Structure 1
Amino acid sequence: MVMENLVSSWCTTVKSLPQNYVFPEDARPGNKIVPIFKNCPIIDLEKAVSDRNNAIQQILQACQDYGLFQVINHGVCEDLIKDTIGIVKEFFNMPNEDKASLYSLDPQKSCRLYTSSFDYARESIHVWRDVLKHPSHPLEEWVDSWPPKPSKYRDVVGKYSVEVRNLSLRILGMICEGLELKPRYFGDELTGVQTLLSNHYPPCPDPSLALGISKHSDPYIITILYQENIGGLQVMKDGQWFGVEPVANAFVVNIGLLLKVISNGKLESAEHRVVTNSKESRYTIASFINTRSDIVIEPAKALLEKNDCRPLYRAFSLKDFQQTHKEHRGEGEATLEVFKIEG
Structure 2
Amino acid sequence: MANSAIPTIDLSPFFIDGDEEAKTKAKQVIGKACSEYGFFQIENHGVPLDLMSRAMKLSRTFFELPSEEKLKSSPGPGAPLPAGYSKQPDQSADKNEYLLMFPPGSSFNVFPNSPPQFKEVLEEMFSYFTKTGKIVESILNECLGLPPNFLQEYNHDRSWDFMAAMHYFPATETENNGISEHEDGNCITFVIQDEVGGLEVRKDGEWIPIPPTQGTMVVNVSDVIQVLSNKKFKSATHRVVRRKGIGRYSFAFFYNLEGDKWVEPLPHFTKEIGEPPKYRGFIYNEYLQLRMKNKSHPPSNPEDVIHITHYAIPS
Q: Using structure 1 for the length normalisation, give the TM-score.
A: 0.79
Question: Displacement, 1:70?
Answer: 0.6
Instruction: Kindly indicate whether structure 1 or structure 2 has the higher relative contact order, using CA contacts under 8 Å at least 6 residues apart.
Output: 1
* 131, 138, 141: which one aligns with 2:98: 131
Q: Per-residue displacement from partner, 1:42-81 (whole Å, max 9, x unpaired)?
A: 1111255522111111111100000011111212111111
Q: Which residue of 1 aligns with 2:263?
A: 297
Local SS of the residue matching 1:91: helix
Of 57, 61, 79, the match for 2:50: 79
What does residue 172 of structure 1 align with?
A: 137
Structure 1 unmatched ranges of 5 or more: 1-34
Q: SS at the partner of 1:186?
A: helix
37, 42, 60: which one aligns with 1:66: 37
Give CA deviations for 1:162-185 in whole Å, capped at 9, x if unaligned. 111111110110010111212222
Residue 89 (1) aligns with residue 54 (2)? no
Cα deviation digits, residues 279-338 of structure 1 (max 9, x gap): 32210000001111111111123443543423221110123222444549798x962322
- Give the whole-Å Cα distance in 2 for the aligned partners of 1:93 and 1:199: 12
Find the aligned partners of 1:227 and 1:37 in 2 and give their Cα distance.
21
Q: Secondary structure at the match of 1:225?
A: strand
Aligned to 2:86: 114
Aligned residue pairs: how many? 301
CA spacing shift, 1:125–1:301, aligned 2, 3 Å? farther
Give the alignment of 1:160-239 within 5 angstroms.
160-187=125-152, 190=155, 192=158, 193-206=160-173, 209-239=175-205
Aligned partners of 1:223 and 1:162: how far apart in 2? 15
Is the CA contact 2:263–2:284 (under 8 Å) kept in the aligned structure 1? yes
Give 1:341 shift. Answer: 2.4
Identify the match of residue 210 of structure 2 among 210, 221, 244: 244
Report deviation, 1:128: 1.2
Match of 2:123 among 143, 149, 158: 158
Residue identity over aligned pairs, in percent, reads 27
Farther-moved stretch of structure 1 (165-174 vs 316-325) = 316-325
Aligned residues of 1:218 and 1:256 also touching (Cα < 8 A): yes
Over the aligned positions, Cα root-mean-square deviation in angstroms equals: 2.8
> Cα deviations across residues 232-268 of structure 1 (Å, max 9, x unaligned)?
1111111121211111110000111111001111001
CA contact (8 A) 2:75 2:82 kept: no
Does residue 57 (structure 1) correspond to residue 24 (structure 2)? The answer is no
Aligned AA for 1:258? V
Q: CA deviation at 1:205?
A: 3.6
Aligned counterpart, 1:316: 282
Bigger drift between 98-107 and 266-275 goes to 98-107
Q: What SS does the aligned partner of 2:180 have?
A: strand
Question: For 2:2 and 2:84, how far apart are their aligned partners in 1?
Answer: 34
Find the counterpart in structure 1 of residue 114 from structure 2.
Answer: 149
- CA distance in 2 between counterparts of 1:323 and 1:111 reads 16
Q: Report whether the alignment pairs 1:98 with 2:64.
A: no
User: Which residue identity lines up with residue 211 of structure 1 in the other structure?
Assistant: N
Cα distance, 1:316–1:93 mapped onto 2, change above 3 Å: same
Structure 2: distance between partners of 1:143 and 1:337: 31
Distance 2:112 2:314 in 1: 47
Whole-angstrom CA distance in 2 between matches of 1:246 and 1:179: 28
- Give the gaps of 5 or more residues in structure 2: none
Give the match's secondary structure for 1:164: helix
How far has the Cα of 1:100 moved from its partner? 2.0
Question: In structure 2, do the counterparts of structure 1 residues 91 and 221 end up closer, same or farther at CA, with 3 Å as the change threshold?
Answer: same
Residue equivalent to 1:20: none
Conservation of the 8 A alpha-carbon contact between 1:222 and 1:288 = yes
After TM superposition, the score normalised by the length of structure 2 is 0.85
